[in-house]
Protein backbone atom coordinates (compact mmCIF):
# COMPACT_ATOMS: atom_id res chain seq x y z
CA UNK A 1 0.00 0.00 0.00
CA UNK A 2 1.32 3.42 -0.86
CA UNK A 3 0.08 6.78 0.27
CA UNK A 4 0.84 9.58 -2.12
CA UNK A 5 -0.37 13.17 -1.73
CA UNK A 6 -2.04 13.97 -5.07
CA UNK A 7 -3.34 17.53 -4.82
CA UNK A 8 -2.59 20.29 -2.33
CA UNK A 9 -5.84 22.24 -2.88
CA UNK A 10 -8.44 22.72 -0.12
CA UNK A 11 -8.11 19.05 0.72
CA UNK A 12 -5.29 16.58 0.29
CA UNK A 13 -5.88 13.43 -1.75
CA UNK A 14 -4.44 10.21 -0.43
CA UNK A 15 -4.45 7.33 -2.82
CA UNK A 16 -4.30 3.78 -1.50
CA UNK A 17 -4.62 0.45 -3.28
CA UNK A 18 -5.71 -2.59 -1.32
CA UNK A 19 -4.64 -5.84 -2.98
CA UNK A 20 -6.35 -7.83 -0.24
CA UNK A 21 -9.50 -7.86 -2.34
CA UNK A 22 -7.93 -10.14 -4.94
CA UNK A 23 -8.99 -12.92 -2.61
CA UNK A 24 -12.13 -14.97 -2.31
CA UNK A 25 -13.85 -14.54 1.02
CA UNK A 26 -14.90 -17.52 3.07
CA UNK A 27 -17.95 -17.94 5.20
CA UNK A 28 -20.87 -15.73 6.10
CA UNK A 29 -19.70 -15.63 9.72
CA UNK A 30 -16.76 -13.38 8.88
CA UNK A 31 -17.09 -11.87 5.40
CA UNK A 32 -13.71 -10.17 5.77
CA UNK A 33 -11.79 -13.38 6.39
CA UNK A 34 -9.65 -13.88 3.26
CA UNK A 35 -9.00 -17.19 1.60
CA UNK A 36 -6.21 -17.18 -0.99
CA UNK A 37 -7.05 -18.58 -4.42
CA UNK A 38 -3.84 -18.31 -6.48
CA UNK A 39 -4.84 -21.40 -8.48
CA UNK A 40 -7.70 -19.65 -10.29
CA UNK A 41 -6.93 -18.50 -13.82
CA UNK A 42 -9.07 -17.05 -16.57
CA UNK A 43 -10.35 -19.57 -19.12
CA UNK A 44 -12.83 -17.44 -21.07
CA UNK A 45 -11.95 -13.79 -21.84
CA UNK A 46 -15.48 -13.22 -23.24
CA UNK A 47 -16.91 -14.00 -19.81
CA UNK A 48 -14.43 -11.54 -18.25
CA UNK A 49 -15.70 -8.80 -20.59
CA UNK A 50 -19.33 -9.69 -19.83
CA UNK A 51 -18.60 -9.72 -16.11
CA UNK A 52 -16.90 -6.33 -16.31
CA UNK A 53 -19.87 -4.80 -18.17
CA UNK A 54 -22.32 -6.28 -15.65
CA UNK A 55 -20.18 -5.13 -12.70
CA UNK A 56 -19.99 -1.58 -14.06
CA UNK A 57 -23.77 -1.50 -14.46
CA UNK A 58 -24.30 -2.72 -10.89
CA UNK A 59 -21.78 -0.27 -9.38
CA UNK A 60 -23.49 2.63 -11.17
CA UNK A 61 -26.68 1.76 -9.23
CA UNK A 62 -25.01 1.50 -5.80
CA UNK A 63 -25.08 4.38 -3.35
CA UNK A 64 -23.28 4.54 -0.04
CA UNK A 65 -22.76 7.29 2.51
CA UNK A 66 -23.25 10.93 1.52
CA UNK A 67 -20.15 12.20 -0.26
CA UNK A 68 -18.93 8.76 -1.35
CA UNK A 69 -18.39 8.00 -5.02
CA UNK A 70 -17.94 4.45 -6.33
CA UNK A 71 -16.53 3.89 -9.83
CA UNK A 72 -14.99 1.08 -11.84
CA UNK A 73 -11.75 1.73 -13.73
CA UNK A 74 -11.14 -0.40 -16.83
CA UNK A 75 -7.36 -0.31 -16.90
CA UNK A 76 -5.47 -3.43 -15.90
CA UNK A 77 -6.12 -4.43 -13.25
CA UNK A 78 -9.79 -3.53 -13.09
CA UNK A 79 -10.38 -1.53 -9.90
CA UNK A 80 -13.32 -0.54 -7.77
CA UNK A 81 -12.49 3.05 -6.83
CA UNK A 82 -14.00 4.48 -3.63
CA UNK A 83 -13.58 8.25 -3.22
CA UNK A 84 -14.77 10.27 -0.22
CA UNK A 85 -14.04 13.55 1.51
CA UNK A 86 -13.47 12.77 5.19
CA UNK A 87 -12.23 14.37 8.38
CA UNK A 88 -8.45 13.98 8.59
CA UNK A 89 -7.61 11.80 11.60
CA UNK A 90 -3.98 12.96 11.50
CA UNK A 91 -4.78 16.71 11.27
CA UNK A 92 -7.86 17.55 13.37
CA UNK A 93 -10.13 20.17 11.86
CA UNK A 94 -8.98 19.47 8.31
CA UNK A 95 -10.72 17.52 5.58
CA UNK A 96 -9.10 15.38 2.94
CA UNK A 97 -10.20 13.49 -0.11
CA UNK A 98 -9.42 9.80 0.14
CA UNK A 99 -9.29 7.43 -2.82
CA UNK A 100 -9.05 3.71 -2.15
CA UNK A 101 -8.71 1.19 -4.95
CA UNK A 102 -9.82 -2.42 -4.71
CA UNK A 103 -8.53 -4.71 -7.51
CA UNK A 104 -11.22 -6.91 -9.04
CA UNK A 105 -9.65 -10.23 -10.05
CA UNK A 106 -10.19 -11.39 -13.63
CA UNK A 107 -11.32 -14.83 -12.44
CA UNK A 108 -14.08 -13.18 -10.40
CA UNK A 109 -15.16 -11.06 -13.39
CA UNK A 110 -15.18 -14.27 -15.42
CA UNK A 111 -17.41 -16.00 -12.89
CA UNK A 112 -19.84 -13.07 -12.82
CA UNK A 113 -19.87 -12.98 -16.63
CA UNK A 114 -20.49 -16.72 -16.89
CA UNK A 115 -23.70 -16.47 -14.84
CA UNK A 116 -24.87 -12.97 -15.87
CA UNK A 117 -27.17 -14.26 -18.64
CA UNK A 118 -28.51 -17.39 -16.98
CA UNK A 119 -28.69 -16.19 -13.37
CA UNK A 120 -28.64 -12.38 -13.45
CA UNK A 121 -30.09 -11.97 -9.95
CA UNK A 122 -27.45 -14.25 -8.47
CA UNK A 123 -24.67 -12.45 -10.37
CA UNK A 124 -25.92 -9.07 -9.14
CA UNK A 125 -26.17 -10.32 -5.55
CA UNK A 126 -22.59 -11.60 -5.69
CA UNK A 127 -21.33 -8.29 -7.10
CA UNK A 128 -23.09 -6.28 -4.40
CA UNK A 129 -21.65 -8.60 -1.74
CA UNK A 130 -18.17 -8.05 -3.15
CA UNK A 131 -18.62 -4.25 -3.11
CA UNK A 132 -19.88 -4.53 0.47
CA UNK A 133 -16.70 -6.41 1.42
CA UNK A 134 -14.53 -3.76 -0.22
CA UNK A 135 -16.41 -1.05 1.69
CA UNK A 136 -15.86 -3.13 4.83
CA UNK A 137 -12.09 -2.99 4.28
CA UNK A 138 -12.41 0.78 3.82
CA UNK A 139 -14.36 1.08 7.08
CA UNK A 140 -11.79 -1.05 8.95
CA UNK A 141 -9.05 1.24 7.67
CA UNK A 142 -10.90 4.34 8.87
CA UNK A 143 -11.71 2.72 12.22
CA UNK A 144 -8.05 1.92 12.81
CA UNK A 145 -7.05 5.51 11.97
CA UNK A 146 -9.48 6.94 14.51
CA UNK A 147 -9.09 4.36 17.32
CA UNK A 148 -6.70 5.67 19.98
CA UNK A 149 -5.58 4.61 23.44
CA UNK A 150 -4.10 7.54 25.40
CA UNK A 151 -3.66 9.34 22.10
CA UNK A 152 -1.78 6.46 20.43
CA UNK A 153 -3.19 4.55 17.43
CA UNK A 154 -2.70 0.89 18.40
CA UNK A 155 -3.60 -0.33 14.89
CA UNK A 156 -2.36 2.53 12.70
CA UNK A 157 -3.04 1.36 9.11
CA UNK A 158 -0.20 3.55 7.84
CA UNK A 159 2.43 2.16 10.24
CA UNK A 160 3.46 -0.78 8.08
CA UNK A 161 2.88 -4.17 9.66
CA UNK A 162 -0.85 -4.42 10.46
CA UNK A 163 -0.18 -7.16 13.04
CA UNK A 164 2.13 -5.09 15.24
CA UNK A 165 1.10 -2.17 17.40
CA UNK A 166 2.84 0.43 19.47
CA UNK A 167 0.95 -0.79 22.54
CA UNK A 168 2.03 -4.40 22.13
CA UNK A 169 -1.58 -5.41 21.34
CA UNK A 170 -2.20 -7.92 18.56
CA UNK A 171 -5.36 -7.48 16.44
**Predicted pLDDT of residue 34:** 40
- Label residue 166 by pLDDT band (50, 70, 90): low
**Predicted pLDDT of residue 156:** 85
**Predicted pLDDT of residue 107:** 87
- If DSSP codes are grouped into helix, strand and coil, which group holds residue 145? helix
Residues 49-100 pLDDT 10s: 999 999 999 999 999 999 999 999 988 789 999 999 999 998 989 999 999 9
What's phi and psi for 138, nearest 5 deg? Answer: -60, -45
First to last CA, the chain: 19
Please name the helix (run of DSSP H) or strand (run of DSSP E) that holds residue 79, with its range, or none. strand 79-87
- If DSSP codes are grouped into helix, strand and coil, which group holds residue 43? coil
**Predicted pLDDT of residue 171:** 46
- Please tell me the pTM assigned to this model: 0.73
Residue 33 pLDDT > 50, yes or no?
Answer: no
Longest dimension (CA), the chain: 55
Domain definitions of the chain by residue range: 4-36+44-146
Amino acid sequence: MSLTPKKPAKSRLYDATYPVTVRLYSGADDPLEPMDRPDLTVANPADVAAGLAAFEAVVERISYRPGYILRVTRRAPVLLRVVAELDDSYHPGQRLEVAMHFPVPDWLLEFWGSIADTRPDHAQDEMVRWVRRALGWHELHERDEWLRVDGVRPFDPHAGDPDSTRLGVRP
